[in-house]
Each structure stands twice: as structure tokens, then as C-alpha cells.
């Protein structure tokens, strides 16, 4: 009979442990549901729609920023080109001024005036390109 009693005690202990686990699990689920939290992996259609809406908004913002970056790059390229033109015109003006040392000033002064006008024009163009870039970055 001792064998039967021991087996009965083991079965009783197993039922007791199983009952305790079930009670703990039931309590945990009750607490989760009572606190308003959803168990992991369970989403409502509203949750999914809200997340999709957030994703769509972020995708739209990314597209806007990419377009803005492309425009800023175009303005930066334009500014770089204008600055190269300005440097070239400035070098030409400097070269004409140096000609005064060994050439007749009557021959050189008209070239200096033309080069000076060119430099002024390229300065205006570079300033405009810089302003365009700045306004693009400020948007």
C-alpha cells in the first residue's frame, strides 16, 4: 500500500503545482487586461492603422527632405560654378593690373575696367547663388 500512497501523493502534488501555475497565469492575464495593456503580439486594426499612418507621414517627410537636399545640392553646384567664374575673373583683373608695370597704361586701363566690371558681375551672381542656397536650407 505504501507504493499506492506514494503515487497518490505525487499525483496530488502535481495537481497542486498545476493549479498554482494556472492561478499565477490567470492572475497575470487579469493584471495585464485590467491595466489596459495588450498582451504581446495582439494588435487591433486601429493600432495597425495608426502605425501605418505614422509610417506614411515619415515616408512623406523623408521624400520632402530628399527633394530639399537635391535642390540644395543644385544650388551648391551653382554657387561653386559662380565662385570659380569669380576666381577666374579676379585672376584676370590681377593679371591686367600687373601689366601696368611693363606696358603703356593707355593700353592696359581699358582692359582693367572691363575685367573690373566682369568681377563685379560675377560677385553679384555668386551672392545671388549663395542667397538661393541659404533660402533653400532655411526652408
Query: By percentage, how much of the chain surpasses pLDDT 90?
Result: 27
Residue 95 lies in a domain: yes
pLDDT tens-digit series, residues 71-103 = 989 988 998 999 999 999 999 999 999 998 989
Query: What is the C-alpha to C-alpha distance for residues 124 and 41, in angstroms, rounded to an integer?
Result: 62
Cα 22–chain centre separation:
49
pTM of the model: 0.58
Q: Are residues 77 and 135 in the same domain?
A: yes
Q: In which residue are the cell numbers 545671388 written?
A: 128
Q: HSE-up of 119 (CA within 13 Å, CB side)? A: 16
Residue 57 has pLDDT above 90, yes or no: yes
Q: Report pLDDT for 47.
A: 83
Instruction: Give the closest residue to 82 by CA, choosing from 114, 121, 112, 116.
Output: 121
Q: Are residues 106 and 137 in the same domain?
A: yes
Q: Report pLDDT for 138.
A: 81
Number of domains in the chain: 2
Owning domain of residue 74: 58-139
Confidence of residue 40 (pLDDT cuts 50, 70, 90): low
Q: Report pLDDT for 135.
A: 86
pLDDT tens-digit series, residues 109-128 = 999 899 999 999 989 989 99
Burial class (CB in 10 A: 0-12, 13-18, 19+), 79: buried
Q: Are residues 84 and 23 in the same domain?
A: no
Residue 3 has pLDDT above 70, yes or no: no
Query: What is the C-alpha to C-alpha distance for residues 99 and 104, in angstroms, rounded to an integer?
Result: 8
What sign has the CA pseudo-torsion 100, 106, 109, 111?
A: negative
Q: HSE-up of 18 (CA within 13 Å, CB side)? A: 6
Which three-class secondary structure state does DSSP give residue 104? coil
Q: Report pLDDT for 44.
A: 84
Residue 49 lies in a domain: no
122 near 85, Cβ under 8 Å?
yes
78 near 129, Cβ under 8 Å?
yes
Confidence of residue 7 (pLDDT cuts 50, 70, 90): very low
Residue 90 lies in a domain: yes
Q: Are residues 66 and 110 in the same domain?
A: yes
Amino acid at each position: 500500500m505504501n507504493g499506492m500512497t506514494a503515487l497518490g501523493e505525487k499525483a496530488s502534488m502535481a495537481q497542486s503545482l498545476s493549479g498554482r501555475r494556472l492561478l499565477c497565469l490567470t492572475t497575470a492575464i487579469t493584471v495585464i487586461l485590467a491595466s489596459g495593456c495588450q498582451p504581446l503580439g495582439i494588435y487591433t486594426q486601429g493600432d495597425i492603422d495608426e502605425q501605418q499612418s505614422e509610417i506614411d507621414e515619415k515616408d512623406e517627410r523623408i521624400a520632402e527632405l530628399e527633394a530639399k537636399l537635391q535642390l540644395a545640392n543644385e544650388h551648391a553646384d551653382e554657387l561653386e560654378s559662380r565662385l570659380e567664374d569669380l576666381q577666374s575673373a579676379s585672376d584676370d583683373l590681377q593679371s591686367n593690373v600687373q601689366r601696368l608695370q611693363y606696358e603703356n597704361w593707355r593700353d592696359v586701363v581699358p582692359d582693367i575696367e572691363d575685367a573690373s566690371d566682369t568681377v563685379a558681375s560675377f560677385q553679384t551672381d555668386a551672392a545671388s547663388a549663395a542667397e538661393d542656397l541659404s533660402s533653400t536650407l532655411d526652408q
